[in-house]
Amino acid sequence: MSNMLRWQGKNTGFELIHPGLQLTYFAVVLVLTMTAMQPVLLTISFISALLFSFCVRGWQTTLKTLVILLPLVIICAVINPLFAMMGSSEVVRFGQHAIYLESIIFGLCMGMMLASVILWFSCASKILSTDKVLAVLGGVLPVVGLMISMAMRLVPQFTERGKLIGSVAESVTSARPLTKRDHITSRLRIVSVLMGWSLEESLQSADAMKARGWGATNKRTGYKRYRFAAFDLFASLALALLVITCSVLAFVACSQFHFYPTMSTLTLWWGYIPYALLMLLPLVVRIVEDLRFKWLGQA
Amino acid sequence: MKRILAKLEIPILAFVPLTLFICASLQITQAAVLSLLVALAAIAVFFANFELSKPVLRQIIPAVVLGALAAAGRILFAAIPDFKPVSAICIVAGVVFGRRTGFIVGAIAALVSNFFFGHGPWTPWQMYSWGMVGYFGGVLADRGLFDKHPAAVYVYGFFSALLYGVLLTTWHVVGFIQPLTWQSAILAYGASLPFDIIHAVATVTFLLIIYAPWSRKLLRIKDKYALSGSKQDARL
Amino acid sequence: MTELKDFIHSTKPASEPALSIDGLCFSYASQDSNTGTQMAGNLLFSDASMCLPQGSFTLLTGNTGSGKTTLMRLIKPELAPTGYRKGAINVFGRETTSLSVAESSTMIGYVAQNPETQIVCDAVWHELAFGLENLGTSQEAMRRRVAEVAYFFGIEPWMHSPTASLSGGQKQILALASILVMQPKLLLLDEPTAQLDPIAEKNFLHALFRINRELGITVLVATHSPETMTDYATGALRLEDGKIEPTPLSAIPAKAGIHNKLQIPHDNATDSTTINCRDLFFRYSKEEPWVLRGFDLTVATSSIHAIVGGNGSGKSTLLNMMAKAIKPLRGRVNNLHSSSQAILPQNPMALFVGDTAAEELKEWQQRCDYSDEEIVSMVDLFNLKSALAKHPYDLSGGEQQKLALAKILLTKPKLLLLDEPTKGLDTSAKRELATTLLGLRAKGVTILMATHDLAFVSKVADNTTMIFDGQSACSEPTQEFFSNNIFYRLPRIDSTTNELNVAHEKSMREDESKTDS
């Protein structure tokens, strides 16, 4: 069941655009999040990621992730001032060692950045199902795309088999592992049996590929489930415009801001609005989609 | 295009750790993104190179199967942290099928298994690091080291797992600790050392068990794929 | 039946044969161990000839080792084995060796035995497109052909599923479909249903039948169980002593398998039970449905007990539970012999770790403390002498199974658990297996097997349990089981049903022609 979900991804408004564009969007968001070390921009990214995660991953899963992420943020906030003894506003002092507020805030920001990146990644893997990624990759590097597709098919098969080999060894009493050492060798044996079995079968797979015209032509084509339509072109232009604006704004914001020695004061600024728009884009699309179907249902 | 890419293979692979070093010494603030992009570029160049070399089935299939096996092994051994067969399998692949296959097996294993473990900014780094473990395995085997000194493969296994750990920790240190100081770097390496040691021990254990029989089995498969001819041909 | 065949032949005037083989001689190259030079081995075919008319559906029969697979592979140029070869193989008037890869894949389709290994890609849609991608087909043509074939086989509900999640039957249908997108005119199938359960086999054969009759594609099927296909076939060939001889379809025995009465009278005098369990509940995880919910089972000591049921009904799970490899969530398993048991997995590959069969038999020698003499006598018992030096994977399916059985019997189990023991075996191998099992029972071994091979069950099992919806639907002596069952039983293939089938097909054809006009 969970396997099926990982495979198909979840329906969000995202399906309306080409997977290549979906991939680009997440790549851009991740790069911006990782580069824009500025408290407001980071907070925008973190909140957007969190909201989107609630939306596509469900509140239970998101809360579970948060339980792991919050300690991470706190650890970053604690560890950074221990090593980076920089700043001007002293909080406490242990003899030679002083803890500064600036360095605590820097640690918090670093933690928040890591947390946002992880959240964005987990949202992306919900939206970008494996076959979308492979469709994009297959368009650029057909053979490599095919190899990854083949490996993706084999992994669940191999894990199933690994478990089977283990249970067979368990069920033959006289060969059943007894000591701890036996248990380890029995596990290692699983990998060996699995390897022999799988490689042997791979010969048959090679035959199946040859029988279906592998290498018939130098120009292998790729079946495109997704096409790049005029709408996608429009969407990419719009996205490009937004991304350029946001990058410039983020650059300005970051260059005007510094943590050390004294943290700059943060003020209200119109430049945060386009940035928030970019980060909240999937959520907005999702809400519009929901409303649209709601109205459809009523009509 | 093809030639340029082929010539780029070694420089770009070497450029990845170099970036880390430059970022660290110049205290570049955007080190995390910069080094990530360089690692991605290295992987992309490597794969593009492989694609353009028009690989045949006997090159593709063993790489896929071994990559998937390593990924499945990582999943099957997930219960024991850092005790995973991936590095050992990459090394065997590199030794038997050559450095390129070694790299591809490592990269595929990391990429595919992360579809099950969860992707993150670490994915390209794991792909690169495990790829390098297999790549060096192939290079050393090409130099005849493992033929002359059979024990060398286990020594290499131990250090390759440490290399893997060091690469990942360095990326973390350079990318996410700012400003970078000696103390914080040492703390980070110290914290990851126990895990790297487990990984190294696991790799040696796996190599002790699989290296000889798997090499034999893989050579048998290689024969079955009608891989004959000179050693040089077979490795390309 | 004959009328139908005449009808088909008359509608397709065969200008040239779909396949003709003239004076084929072939032998595998064997390497001289002393000089290292290649030399011809024994001739597998000597001056073999055959001819298939266009639109025919032909069965290729022959004993194990008669060269059915080799012949099929010789026809498909990409898979042709190397060796000494003489004679001509023509497909639609073209010599096969002169075909380019693209020509060959659009003329000759090849489907192999194991559905697991024929699937290349991870998504069903990608699998369907794979062959066309290889040929460099344009997007439009590709889209159209994939769509057509998906509709023909009813694949579209699972177009976007991962191939790993399909059942064996679905995988084999997909393998067939992904060959057909390339629009071959001749279809070669090597034991296509050997790995399928009876229901999946019927589905597959039906699909094959439609391809042949509706699309006019010539079909050649190599099989060791032709009796299930005689209703669909228009002709049969037999491979024997290096020659291909036509044989009449009527000569193929109607009923599957084991004719000899194997049922050695067995007095179930012992009242003791080996396995006794009540009220078992099990599921693999919280999200998944129950596999077992209130399952009861009693297995008498030194008897053969069969568990029958459909695919995914939990037979394998149950065997693992009886072996105490997994624990029930509720209930208890009492297994008298859990300290002396062995399991034969569905695929013997799961047991093999060595480089030769001999090594395989020695794997557990130290742990289980059996002597070399015991190995020798076991080898004699299973007639494995010639296999000892070979790699376990190079053995035939039947030999692999015998090796696996020998390997686990060396551990001297008192309880033997078998998971689908007849899968992929031909009739004679099944007969041998039955004899072995009955012999073991006579020695006091208790045997519990999970299978959907009802014919085999009816010949060897003392008691039969049908598992359904996680419970035991009924459990009784085998004879009673089969006489009380009305639907779930051996197919009654006799003259009356045959005639019924023909009548049914005829009426279907008439319906079709009506709708056409």
Q: Give the residue-averaged pLDDT of C377-382.
A: 88
Handedness of CA A125, A129, A131, A136 (dihedral sign): negative
Interface contact A175-C165, CB threshold 8 A: no
In a shared domain, residues A251 and A103: yes
* Greater model confidence, B161 or A92: B161
Q: What helix, strand, coil percent values describe chain C, rounded to 5?
A: 40, 25, 35
Kindly list the residues from chain A whose CB atom is less than 8 angstroms away from the CB atom of residue B176: 110, 114
Do A234 and A106 have their domain in common? yes
Give the global pTM: 0.85
Minimum mean pLDDT range among B171-180, C114-123, C301-310: B171-180
Domain that holds residue A188: 142-211
**Distance between CA atoms of residues C220 and C59, nearest Å:** 6
If pLDDT is split at 50, 70 and 90, which confidence band does A216 have? confident
A218 domain-assigned:
no
Share above pLDDT 70 across residues of chain B, in percent, rounded to a whole number: 94
| Nearest residue to B161 via CA among B107, B228, B88 | B88
Q: Do the chains contact at C391 and B213, CB–CB below 8 Å? A: no
pLDDT digits (tens, 9 = 90+) for B69-108: 999 999 988 888 788 899 999 999 999 999 999 999 999 9
- Residue given tokens 């003894």 in the structure block: A85
| Measured distance CA(C424)–CA(C190) in Å, rounded | 12
Q: How confident is the model at residue C502 (pLDDT cuts 50, 70, 90)?
A: very low
- Give domain C273-484's CATH number out of 3.90.180.10, 2.60.40.10, 3.40.630.10, 3.40.50.300: 3.40.50.300
- Is it the case that residue C516 has pLDDT exceeding 50? no
Would the pLDDT of C508 be above 50? no
For chain A, say whether C116 makes contact (Cβ under 8 Å). Answer: yes
The whole-number average pLDDT for the span B59-69 is 93
CB contact at 8 A, A130 and C122: yes
- pLDDT at position C337 is 84
Looking at the predicted structure, is the pLDDT value of residue C368 above 70? yes
The enclosing domain of B32 has a CATH number of 1.10.1760
Chain C residue at shortest CA distance from A145: C121
pLDDT of residue A298: 62
How confident is the model over B142-154, as a mean pLDDT?
A: 89
Per the DSSP assignment, residues forming a β-bridge with A92 are A99
Looking at per-residue pLDDT, the higher value among C269 and C26 belongs to C26
Q: How many domains does chain A fold into?
A: 2
pLDDT of residue C505: 47
Question: Which residues span the domain enclosing B34?
Answer: 2-235
Whether C367 sits inside 8 A of A224 (CB atoms) is no
User: What integer pLDDT is reported at residue C34 of this predicted model?
Assistant: 52
Q: Tell me the C-alpha to C-alpha distance, in Å, between residue C341 and each of A171, A173, A245, C274, C411.
A: 7, 5, 71, 11, 8
Is A11 inside any structural domain? no
Neighbouring C-beta atoms of residue C65, cutoff 10 Å: 11
Reported as a pLDDT band with limits 50, 70 and 90, residue C31 is low
What pLDDT score was predicted for residue C194?
84
Residues of C in contact with A197 (CB under 8 A): 349-350, 352
- CA C357: distance to chain centroid? 23
Q: For residue C266, what pLDDT is reported?
A: 56
DSSP H or E run through C500: helix C495-516
Number of CB atoms found within 10 A of residue C136's CB: 15
Q: Do A153 and C122 touch (CB under 8 A)?
A: yes
Give tens-digit pLDDT for B110-139: 999 998 888 888 899 999 999 999 999 999
Task: Give the CA count within 13 Å in the CB-facing half-sphere of C364.
Answer: 23
**Which ipTM was obtained for this model?**
0.89
Burial readout C443-457 (b: 16 or more C-beta within 10 A, e: otherwise): eebbbbbbbbbbbbb
C389-429: pLDDT as tens digits:
888 888 887 888 889 999 988 888 999 999 988 887 888 88
Phi and psi at A263, nearest 5°, equal -70, 140
Q: Which tens digit of pLDDT belongs to each residue from A149-198?
A: 899 989 989 998 998 888 888 888 777 777 777 777 788 888 888 888 88
**B199, B161 contact by CB (below 8 A):** yes
Any residues with CB less than 8 A from the CB of A187 and at least 6 apart, and which? A166, B76, B77
Distance, in angstroms, between B220 CA and closest chain A CA?
10
Statement to judge: residues A116 and A237 lie in one domain: yes
| Pairwise CA distance, residues C139 & C395, whole Å | 43
Cβ contacts of A158 on chain B, cutoff 8 Å: 68-69, 71-72
d(CA B162, CA B194): 10
Examine residue A136 and state whether it is found in any structural domain, yes or no: no
A220 chain-C contacts, CB cut-off 8 A: 133-134, 136
Which helix (H) or strand (E) element contains residue C404?
helix C397-409
* pLDDT, tens only, A41-82: 999 999 999 999 988 888 888 999 999 899 989 988 888 777
- Output C232 or A86, whichever has higher pLDDT: C232
Q: Residue C498's pLDDT is what?
A: 42
A33 and A181 in a common domain: no
Across the A:C interface, residue pairs with CB atoms under 8 Å apart total 197
Is 3.40.50.300 the CATH classification of the domain at C2-251? yes
Using the Cβ of C114 and the Cβ atoms of chain A, whether some distance falls under 8 Å is answered with yes
Nearest Cα neighbor of A7 from A126, A88, A116 is A126
Using CA coordinates, name the residue in chain B closest to A115.
Answer: B120
Contact A85, A260 (CB under 8 A): no
- Number of domains chain B contains: 1
What number is the average pLDDT over the span A279-296?
85
User: At C500, is the pLDDT very low, low, confident or very high (cuts 50, 70, 90)?
Assistant: very low
For residue B179, cis peptide bond before it (omega within 30 degrees of 0) = yes
**Structure tokens that stand for C23 in this block:** 């004076």
Question: C residues 319-348 near A, CB within 8 Å?
Answer: 319-320, 323-326, 338-343, 345
Instruction: Enumerate the residues of chain C whose CB falls inside 8 A of the CB of residue B213.
Output: 355
- Structural element, H or E, at residue C84: strand C83-91
Mean pLDDT over residues C505-515, rounded? 48
Q: Does the distance separating the beta carbons of C355 and B213 come in below 8 Å?
A: yes
Task: Name the average pLDDT for chain C.
Answer: 83
Q: Are residues A156 and A271 in the same domain?
A: no
What pLDDT shows up at residue C39? 55
Shortest Cα–Cα distance, A299 to chain B (Å): 41
Residues A107 and A62 in one domain: yes
Look at A155 and B177 and tell me if their CB atoms are within 8 Å.
no
How many Å apart are CA B149 and CA B95, to the nearest integer? 14
A99-113 core/surface letters (b: 16 or more CB in 10 A; e: else): bbebbbbbbbbbbbb
* Position B33 confidence tier, pLDDT thresholds 50, 70, 90: confident
- Within 8 A by CB and 6+ apart from C383, the residues are C402
Give yes or no for residue A7 having a pLDDT over 80. Answer: no
Contacts of residue B217 in chain C, CB cutoff 8 Å?
355
Whether the predicted pLDDT of C450 surpasses 80:
yes
**Secondary structure class of B69 (helix, strand, coil):** helix
CB < 8 Å to C408, chain A? 172
Confidence of residue C59 (pLDDT cuts 50, 70, 90): very high
Of B62, B176, B225, the CB nearest to A110: B176
Task: Report which of A61, A100, A60 is spatially closest to residue A84, judged by C-alpha positions.
Answer: A100
CB A162, CB A194: distance < 8 Å: yes
From B51, B70, B50, B42, select the one nearest B167 (Cα to Cα).
Answer: B42
Boundary of a domain, candidates A211, A243, A268: A211
Q: Which residues 6+ apart lie within 8 Å of C158 measured at CB?
A: C124, C166, C170
* A27, part of any domain: yes
Specify whether A207 is located in the same domain as A239: no
Q: Which residue ranges make up each domain of chain C?
A: 2-251, 273-484, 491-517
The verdict on a CB contact (< 8 Å) between A151 and B76 is no
In angstroms, the separation between the Cα of residue B196 and the nearest Cα of chain C is 30
C79 touches A: beta carbon within 8 Å? yes
Alpha-carbon torsion C82, C86, C87, C93, what sign? positive
Give the dihedral sign, CA B161/B166/B167/B171: positive
Rounded to 10 deg, the angle between the B57-76 and A180-211 helix axes is 150
- For residue A58, the tally of other CB atoms under 10 A from its CB is 13
Report which secondary-structure segment, H or E, holds C475: strand C471-477
**What is the amino acid identity at position A182?**
D
Instruction: Note the pLDDT tens digit of each residue in C311-357.
Output: 778 888 898 888 888 889 998 888 888 888 899 988 888 888 888 89
The answer to whether residue A135 sits within a structural domain is no
What mean pLDDT value characterizes chain A? 85
